[in-house]
């Protein structure tokens, strides 16, 4: 470099070391300027800063200290405070001006960075929404374009979020949480974009068409295992990316700015849903080959249940069948009335000790009709299988349980169904009404004719499903809806497959929802079919105290809309000779695992309930009878120690409300009240947070998982 060239910072020079520093750098108000070879010229690693700030060793012939230098040398030295010297007023003013200039520069630089992050995140959000919509509509190429755009935008936001001006914001308490939350949103958007591209790659590998992924997986009545093998790795990778996305957003601090807080809350909800969907998709693709005969023929006991005569696990088993799956094809090999298996008296089958204690007195170990008194379907399924082995002499691989409501939902894929014996066309809109009410009126006490009609209808359903003449997207939607409501359940004796069914919430295993659950269920004790005409409403209030304990009050309102006449197979009198229309039931309240019952009352009268444990969960129950056209109200109060995790910094409470697969879904009104001094927030779908309370109202047609976060009042 010529002597006439300006001296560049960090360039080799023979000038004294202190001439390479600006006033601000020398006084410590700003970090040293980076050398040109630092990428971008802006971002410094800590070790680089240490190296630059390290004092240079004195060169031979150079004065060791300012005092040893000549007056001429001192005059050429940049002015600055000396150790022990008191700064003059002029010097202080210079430092103040320098500090203001640096602050203004950082603000201007920071404003540009914030604008870059904000615009990049906005563009990413728009592209992610468009990509998701295109995926749902099976427009995979369009989805890929949107996700690629989202990835570019999100990476721009991530790059801007590591700019020094942005990083300094993490050290400023008033805005630290906002800056960190924005960084989390940037990184999460990048991962979500990558996950979207993985799903598009899965669709490409599976040769998906505009009919969707399902049409590639299920063709000509057969599940295509080869296609699954091609796409499963991409779906698994997408699930891992979305799981990381969910964790990043969940670990983000709560921002102070409303606009960032709202964006973070929405992103958390979307990421949680997307992560759950991708995880289940990956689990399903892994489990299907085993469940449907890709690893050897499988045979399942089919329990066709009637929730008009309610059971804890759904409804009374009136028909049974055998389903066979082989190389991706499923067919119904036999169906008939359960009476075919009751010609000879059964010896009691083995079951867990709690089941024998709770349901043995109701002959659940020897009678098909009582085997599913328990709502814990995997246990009831094993009882079914052991009974079948004793009655039929052969071992099966699992159980499939379905009811008329599930049958109706599957007609969305097969089209309307008809069968000889009753002039009715069965659709998703009328299946419950026709098959849980009208058939009993039509056939009345002619059980043989009724069984023949229902068997023919069920046979036609499975024949259509196995033929492949179905609307595949509607088939997937119908199965999903039936599973969510507990109207279609499956059990496998193969441990890995059973675990997958539990993860997919298709196993009827309430324990999969954790220790804090509530399940209200009843078993018909009248021997009639009036539960189709029963309306149930649940009102639950959860009061949290500062120690994290919960006091829960649940009131169940029962409205029996059954008429009192005429006497019939539908209305009774049933096995006890009760008045027609009477609804007599064993009413059960299953509570969280550590719950302690406080009180139990029927129509305002305190009652001492019966008690038992259901696979570790406490249950209180009583016999309740409701005459035709009348109502009853039952209230249980219980305490749950350590139901919530609460500290002075905040807390969290979660609980699951599991439905019984009844003919008409329960109506649930839920209130969760935070302790005094805390505000309640929630990400649970359709729940409303206001002050200390979170409320949810709606039909309990699927399991409700309520998640409440607690923040100290400001």
300-340: pLDDT as tens digits: 999 999 999 999 999 999 999 999 999 999 999 999 999 99
Residues 222 and 365 in one domain: no
Residues 258 and 390 in one domain: no
Query: What confidence score (pLDDT) does residue 451 get?
Result: 96
Give the CATH number, domain containing residue 652.
2.60.40.3680
The predicted model scores a pTM of: 0.81
74 domain residue, yes or no: no
Of 32, 4, 31, whose CA–CA distance to 20 is shortest?
A: 32
Query: Which of 404-408, 467-471, 504-508 is least confident?
Result: 467-471
Residue pair 549/615 in contact (Cβ under 8 Å)? The answer is no
639's tokens: 């305490």
Residue with the bigger pLDDT between 209 and 162: it is 209
Residues 316 and 402 in one domain: yes
| DSSP, residue by residue, 601-648 | EETTEE---EEEEETTEEEEEEEEEE-TT-EEEEEEEEEETT-EEEET
Q: Where are the alpha helices (DSSP H) in 485-622?
A: 495-503
Query: What confidence score (pLDDT) does residue 258 get?
Result: 83
Residues 518 and 659 in one domain: yes
Of 430, 346, 436, 357, whose CA–CA distance to 388 is shortest?
A: 346
Outline where DSSP puts E strands in 346-432: 398-402
Query: What confidence score (pLDDT) does residue 423 get?
Result: 96
Count: domains in the chain: 4
Residues 305 and 286 in one domain: no
86 domain residue, yes or no: no
Residue 282's domain comprises: 97-291
pLDDT bracket for residue 468 (50, 70, 90): confident
Query: What confidence score (pLDDT) does residue 674 get?
Result: 97
81 domain residue, yes or no: no
Residue pair 351/373 in contact (Cβ under 8 Å)? The answer is no
67 domain residue, yes or no: no
Residues 435 and 514 in one domain: no
Percentages (nearest 5) of helix, strand, coil residues in the chain:
45, 25, 30
| Residue range 620-629: mean pLDDT, rounded | 98
Residues 351 and 496 in one domain: yes
pLDDT at 130 over 80: yes
- Buried b / exposed e over 142-174, threshold 16 CB at 10 Å, is bbbbbbbbbbebbbbbbbbbebbbbeebeeeee
Residues 113 and 154 in one domain: yes
Residues 565 and 536 in one domain: yes
Residue 291: exposure state from Cβ atoms within 10 A (0-12, 13-18, ≥19): buried
Query: Which of 110-114, 382-386, 462-466, 554-558 is least confident?
Result: 110-114
| Residue range 533-543: mean pLDDT, rounded | 99
66 domain residue, yes or no: no
Degrees, nearest 5: CA angle 433-486-560: 45
274 domain residue, yes or no: yes
Residues 548 and 481 in one domain: no
242 domain residue, yes or no: yes
Residue 179 bridge partners (DSSP) = none
Residues 682 and 571 in one domain: yes
Query: Which of 80-94, 645-659, 680-694 is least confident?
Result: 80-94
Residue pair 429/398 in contact (Cβ under 8 Å)? The answer is no
Query: What confidence score (pLDDT) does residue 178 get?
Result: 81
pLDDT bracket for residue 360 (50, 70, 90): very high
Query: What confidence score (pLDDT) does residue 89 get?
Result: 53
123 domain residue, yes or no: yes
Q: Where is the domain boundary, 291, 312, 346? A: 291
Query: What confidence score (pLDDT) does residue 565 get?
Result: 85
Average pLDDT, the chain: 85
Residue with the bigger pLDDT between 222 and 77: it is 222
Residues 311 and 217 in one domain: no
| Residue range 420-440: mean pLDDT, rounded | 97
Q: Where is the domain boundary, 247, 262, 291? A: 291
Assign 301 to helix, strand or coil. Answer: strand
Residue with the bigger pLDDT between 653 and 87: it is 653
Query: What confidence score (pLDDT) does residue 449 get?
Result: 96
Contacts of 87 (CB under 8 A, 6+ apart): 81, 95
Residue with the bigger pLDDT between 211 and 662: it is 662
Query: What confidence score (pLDDT) does residue 125 get?
Result: 86
């Amino acid at each position: 470099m010529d002597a006439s060239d300006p001296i560049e910072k960090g360039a080799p020079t023979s000038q004294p070391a202190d001439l390479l520093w600006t006033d601000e750098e020398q006084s410590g108000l700003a970090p040293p300027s980076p050398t040109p070879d630092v990428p971008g010229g802006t971002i410094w690693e800590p070790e680089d800063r240490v190296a630059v700030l390290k004092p240079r060793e004195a060169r031979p012939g150079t004065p060791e200290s300012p005092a040893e230098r000549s007056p001429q040398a001192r005059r050429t030295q940049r002015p600055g405070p000396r150790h022990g010297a008191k700064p003059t007023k002029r010097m202080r003013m210079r430092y103040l001006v320098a500090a203001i200039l640096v602050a203004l520069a950082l603000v201007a630089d920071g404003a540009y960075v914030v604008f870059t992050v904000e615009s990049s995140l906005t563009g990413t959000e728009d592209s992610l929404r468009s990509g998701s919509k295109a995926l749902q509509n099976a427009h995979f190429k369009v989805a890929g374009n949107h996700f690629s755009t989202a990835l570019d935008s999100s990476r721009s936001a991530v790059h801007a979020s590591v700019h020094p001006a942005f990083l300094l914001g993490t050290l400023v308490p008033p805005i630290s949480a906002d800056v960190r939350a924005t960084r989390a949103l940037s990184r999460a958007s990048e991962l979500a974009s990558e996950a979207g591209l993985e799903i598009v790659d899965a669709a490409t590998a599976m040769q998906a068409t505009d009919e969707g992924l399902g049409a590639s997986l299920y063709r000509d009545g057969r599940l295509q295992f080869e296609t699954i093998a091609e796409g499963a790795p991409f779906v698994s990778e997408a699930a891992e990316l979305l799981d990381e996305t969910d964790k990043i957003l969940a670990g983000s601090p709560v921002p102070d700015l409303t606009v960032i807080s709202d964006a973070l809350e929405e992103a958390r909800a979307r990421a949680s849903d997307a992560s759950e969907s991708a995880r289940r998709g990956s689990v399903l693709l892994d489990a299907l080959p085993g469940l449907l005969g890709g690893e050897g023929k499988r045979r399942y006991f089919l329990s066709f249940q009637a929730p008009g005569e309610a059971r804890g696990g759904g409804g009374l088993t009136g028909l049974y069948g055998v389903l066979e799956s082989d190389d991706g094809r499923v067919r119904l090999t036999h169906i008939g009335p359960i009476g075919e298996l009751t010609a000879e008296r059964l010896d009691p089958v083995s079951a867990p000790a709690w089941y024998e204690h709770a349901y043995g007195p109701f002959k659940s170990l020897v009678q098909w009709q009582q085997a599913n008194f328990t709502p814990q379907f995997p246990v009831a399924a094993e009882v079914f299988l052991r009974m079948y082995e004793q009655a039929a002499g052969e071992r099966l691989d699992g159980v499939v349980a379905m009811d008329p409501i599930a049958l109706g939902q599957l007609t969305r894929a097969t089209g309307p169904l008809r069968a000889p014996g009753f002039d009715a066309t069965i659709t998703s809109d009328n299946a419950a009404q026709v098959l849980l009410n009208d058939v009993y009126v039509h056939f009345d006490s002619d059980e043989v004719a009724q069984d023949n009609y229902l068997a023919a209808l069920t046979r036609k359903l499975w024949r259509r499903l196995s033929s492949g003449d179905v609307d595949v997207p509607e088939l997937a939607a119908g199965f999903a809806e039936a599973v969510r409501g507990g109207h279609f359940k499956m059990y496998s004796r193969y441990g890995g497959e059973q675990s997958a069914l539990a993860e997919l919430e298709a196993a009827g295993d309430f324990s999969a929802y954790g220790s804090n659950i509530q399940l209200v269920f009843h078993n018909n004790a009248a021997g009639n079919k009036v539960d189709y005409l029963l309306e149930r409403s649940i009102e639950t209030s959860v009061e949290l105290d500062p120690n994290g304990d919960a006091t829960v009050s649940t009131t169940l309102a029962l409205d029996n809309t059954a008429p009192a006449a005429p006497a019939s197979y539908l209305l009774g009198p049933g096995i006890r000779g009760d008045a027609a229309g009477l609804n007599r039931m064993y009413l059960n309240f299953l509570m969280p695992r550590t719950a302690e019952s406080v009180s139990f009352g029927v129509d305002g009268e305190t009652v001492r309930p019966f008690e038992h444990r259901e696979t570790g969960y406490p249950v209180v129950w009583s016999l309740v009878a409701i005459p035709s056209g009348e109502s009853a109200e039952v209230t249980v109060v219980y305490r749950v120690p350590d139901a919530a995790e609460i500290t002075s910094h905040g807390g969290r409470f979660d609980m699951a409300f599991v439905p019984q697969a009844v003919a008409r879904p329960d109506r649930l009104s839920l209130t969760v009240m935070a302790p005094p001094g805390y505000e309640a927030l929630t990400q649970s779908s359709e729940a409303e947070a206001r002050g200390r309370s979170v409320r949810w109202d709606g039909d309990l047609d699927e399991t409700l998982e309520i998640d409440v976060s607690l923040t100290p009042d400001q």
